[in-house]
Structure formats: structure tokens, C-alpha cells
């Protein structure tokens, strides 16, 4: 008999890299999370306790404003994943998520995910890689948006044109060699999964 939850997760890009056995490891760790319209999934600054996958409904994403108000910056729907970075670092939530209508989500608890990783299950490491690639893509997109905004700003009236840098024929000085006698140290007291991985690596 086919598993509807398995079929649902197979359609989500983040989980599509897992085979059926690996995906079952993840599904056994998820729990349903219903939300009524207007109910908060989590608030900005809350503990990052894991990721959520939207099965049905719509979730609004809000960030705080300097004047103590908030503004909606995104709307997420079925098949989208919310809070996936918390599986990596467990950092506090960077935004508030609230149901725009009655919604059903699946919660992948960060502690359960960490246990899958500690048991050296491939599913955990594949998801870590996919989440990292997703974060990198988001950074590239943000950089492109910032560049587009800056390039579209008109020049300041009356501002002198920047002077051209004089051509130089001098050969740049050779850089001193990097020290090779000691290995780089991982950041101290780094929270969450990344910190555990760094500390484990550092202990050699």
C-alpha cells in the first residue's frame, strides 16, 4: 500500500534527493502541526526548534520594524519548507510565521534530526548539504537584488566624477607565505549542529 506522506515528501525539492529508505528515516521523525487562521507558528526571536513543511493552507512571514510594528515579507504555501536553517544551527527565529488560513504542517524536530545525524544516517547528511546549497542560492539572489538597487540609483547632482587610477608598472610585492604549522581553530561555543560538527572535527 502506498504511503501518502511518503509521496508528499518525495515531491518537495529539499527531500527529493533522498531515496525511499532515507526518506522513511525522516518521516518517522516528523509530527503533524495544525494551525488555525491567525495562529502563530513561531515568533521572531523564538528558539529554532526545527523545520516545518506545509501540507495545506498558507503561512505569512513577518519581520519587525524599527517602530515596533511588523511587515509581511512573504507568503508560503503547500510543499514549502519553513525554518530549515534551524536544523543546522538552532539559532533563534529571524522572522514571525503566522497562519493566513487554517493550515496543516509537518514538524521535523531539531533534536530528532540530530539523533538521525548521530546515528550516521545518510538522510541527515544529504539534507544538510541541500539546506546549505539553498542558503547559498538565497545569498546570491540577495546580492543580485542589492546590486540592482544600487546600480539603479541616480548619481548625486554636482558630484565630481571619480578620478581614474594611474596605471602602475610596478610589480606588486610578494605576499608573505601563510603559516603552515598550526591548523585553523573552529569558532568557540558555536551553537547547534554546526558547532557540534566543528567541535568533533577539532578533537581529531
The residues pairing with 40 across neighbouring beta strands, listed in sequence order, are 98
The answer to whether the beta carbons of residues 78 and 54 sit under 8 Å apart is yes
158 within a domain of the structure (yes/no): no
101 within a domain of the structure (yes/no): yes
- pLDDT 10s digits, 42-88: 999 999 999 999 999 999 999 999 988 899 999 999 999 999 999 99
Specify the number of domains making up the chain. 1
Side-chain half-sphere CA neighbours of 69 within 13 A: 3
**The model's pTM:** 0.70
Distance CA 42, CA 147 (A): 32
Task: List the CATH number of the domain containing 18.
Answer: 2.60.120.10
Distance CA 125, CA 143 (A): 27
Residue-level pLDDT at 156 = 57
Query: Residue 116: is its pLDDT beyond 90?
Result: yes
State whether residue 53 is helix, strand or coil: strand
149 within a domain of the structure (yes/no): no
112 within a domain of the structure (yes/no): yes
Amino acid at each position: 500500500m502506498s504511503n501518502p506522506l511518503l509521496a508528499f515528501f518525495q515531491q518537495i525539492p529539499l527531500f527529493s534527493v533522498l531515496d525511499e529508505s532515507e526518506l522513511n528515516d525522516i518521516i518517522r521523525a516528523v509530527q503533524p502541526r495544525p494551525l488555525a487562521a491567525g495562529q502563530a507558528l513561531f515568533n521572531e526571536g523564538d528558539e529554532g526548534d526545527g523545520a516545518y513543511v506545509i501540507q495545506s493552507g498558507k503561512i505569512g512571514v513577518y519581520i519587525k520594524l524599527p517602530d515596533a510594528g511588523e511587515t509581511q515579507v512573504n507568503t508560503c504555501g503547500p510543499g514549502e519548507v519553513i525554518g530549515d536553517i534551524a536544523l543546522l544551527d538552532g539559532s533563534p527565529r529571524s522572522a514571525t510565521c503566522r497562519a493566513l488560513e487554517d493550515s496543516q504542517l509537518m514538524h521535523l524536530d531539531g533534536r530528532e534530526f540530530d539523533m538521525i545525524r548521530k546515528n550516521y544516517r545518510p538522510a541527515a547528511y544529504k539534507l544538510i548539504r541541500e539546506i546549505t546549497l539553498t542558503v547559498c542560492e538565497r545569498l546570491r539572489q540577495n546580492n543580485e537584488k542589492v546590486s540592482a538597487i544600487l546600480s539603479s540609483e541616480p548619481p548625486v547632482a554636482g558630484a565630481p566624477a571619480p578620478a581614474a587610477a594611474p596605471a602602475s608598472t610596478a610589480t606588486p610585492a610578494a605576499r608573505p607565505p601563510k603559516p603552515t604549522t598550526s591548523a585553523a581553530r573552529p569558532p568557540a561555543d558555536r551553537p547547534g549542529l554546526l558547532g557540534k560538527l566543528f567541535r568533533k572535527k577539532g578533537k581529531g
